[in-house]
Copies of this chain bind each other. A is one copy, B any other.
Amino acid sequence: MKIINIGILGLGVVGSGVVRILQNHHGDFLRDQEIDLRLIAVSSRRDTQARELGLLDIYSPDTASVTANPRIDVVLELMGGIDKAYECVKAALESGKSVVTANKALIATHGRELMRLAGEHAAEIAFEASVGGGIPIIGPLRHTLASNRILSVMGIVNGTTNYMLGRMSDHGLDYASALAEAQALGYAEADPTADVEGLDAAAKIAILSMIAFNTDIRLDQVKTEGISKITTTDIQAAAEAGYTLKLLAIAQRQPTGIDIRVHPTMIKRSHPLASVSGVFNAIYVVGDAVGETMFYGRGAGADPTASSVVGDLIELARHRAYQETIAQPVWDTEGLPILDDSVLESTFYLRLPVMDKPGTLAASATIFADLGISIASMVQHAATGQEAELIYFTHQAPVAAVMTALDRLIISGILTSPASCIYTIAGDH
């Protein structure tokens, strides 16, 4: 039985959740893992949480009380934000401490450097909690699935937007009402930008892709489109055609590089991701040997996130306790290029509000035909007043061609208001 000393930076909801697990399960970890996990220092801006958790005697507002404490073996970085967290994690790693973090922005921004630093100081950095909350996904990708060439990773990795789209779909709420409700329930923040514009999901798919494709990916290389322009009209049209609208984070290995993006996506209802509802998250991984797999669970919340943090902690503590020098994963070994739209293809949904008069259908169809975009299905919705709606589902088509088609539709003058254009994904698997 070995003693491992722990320090925590940040005592917000996740930090408090971690402390509760460490308090409630101390005896279990002792018994099952033969490790005595001891929390010996905590730091946060204010002492309120430390007081509530009965940790005032090991509290300091100074982060150095944790990062520079020579007795500490593993630091848990749960403060959030980038700059200060980066400084603290760097200091901890440089003094040979291992680090567990739940900070997706930190890893998506500085992951590669922190990995390298850890390796140089015989330390480790783990970040299971940075993607998918309580869902084990980083572990499986790094271990069990290491036998595979990963072909694609797709995920519903933002619970806020998944909740909102579900409410828009099932109860007909418009975007503003769904957002207001999510904010009232505490699912969305006062400034919801990171969630609704897809930035949170972009950081997560960047992290997953780094591991899945052995390639360093910068957050700004992830093409990102949020849900703020989604209307109930499009959600209903999706439902009528057998699709569910989700904010999907997608990364795929292509012959010439990695296709990585976040955008609203119509998913055929028979696809396992289509039935992931509410605040649940799921990550769908395809490997060359394993085929399709999916990992499902709670993507956020104090306890699920704390579950992943403590899972990582136990792993790193075992490595420390048994003096194992774990080889760091080698990063960027493939170093694949990130592809842009000019070489990518997808299937699409296009909704064109047009004047209900002879020739508009032919005019739109001709634009698609001229660009070599093949149509899988088309319906014209019953006209209301002088307007009609043409709804197209395309076969696989170059993204650039579809964007050109949208431009030509505007120029043609047949649109009465902006067209909707949404990526689609089939259910076949």
Contact = CB atoms under 8 A, between A and B. Distances in A.
Given A17-B289, A135-B293, A318-B327, 13 more contacts: A21-B289, A25-B149, A31-B214, A31-B330, A33-B330, A134-B293, A139-B144, A143-B314, A289-B304, A295-B295, A322-B324, A322-B325, A322-B326
Contacts of A135: 290, 293
Interface string A274-316: 0100000000000111111111111001011011111111110
A96 to B, nearest CB: 18
A310 B147 contact: yes
Copies in the complex: 2
Nearest to A28: B149
Given A31-B333, A303-B290, A145 B149 contact: no
Given A136-B145, A272-B275, A289 B307 contact: yes
A interface, size bucket: 35 or more
A220 interface: no
B306 A289 contact: yes
A303 B309 CA distance: 32
Nearest to A132: B293
A381 B325 CA distance: 67
A32 interface: yes
Given A136-B293, A145-B311, A296-B294, A34 B327 contact: yes
A56 to B, nearest CB: 25
Contact of A21 (B147, B296, B307, B315): B147
Interface of A: 17, 21, 25, 28-29, 31-34, 128, 134-136, 139-140, 143-149, 214, 272, 275, 287-298, 301, 303-304, 306-315, 318-319, 321-322, 324-327, 329-330, 333-334
Contacts of A301: 291
16 contacts: A21-B289, A29-B146, A33-B330, A134-B290, A136-B136, A136-B145, A140-B140, A143-B143, A145-B307, A145-B311, A147-B306, A147-B307, A147-B313, A289-B303, A290-B304, A292-B297
Nearest to A30: B333
Which of A306, A311, A327 gathers the greatest number of chain B CB atoms within 10 Å?
A: A311
A290 B296 contact: no
A291 B297 CA distance: 8
A311 B146 contact: yes
B146 A33 contact: yes
Contacts of A145: 136, 307, 311
A340 to B, nearest CB: 26
B149 A144 contact: no
Nearest to A295: B295
A138 to B, nearest CB: 8
A140 B34 CA distance: 19
A152 to B, nearest CB: 14
A134 B291 contact: yes
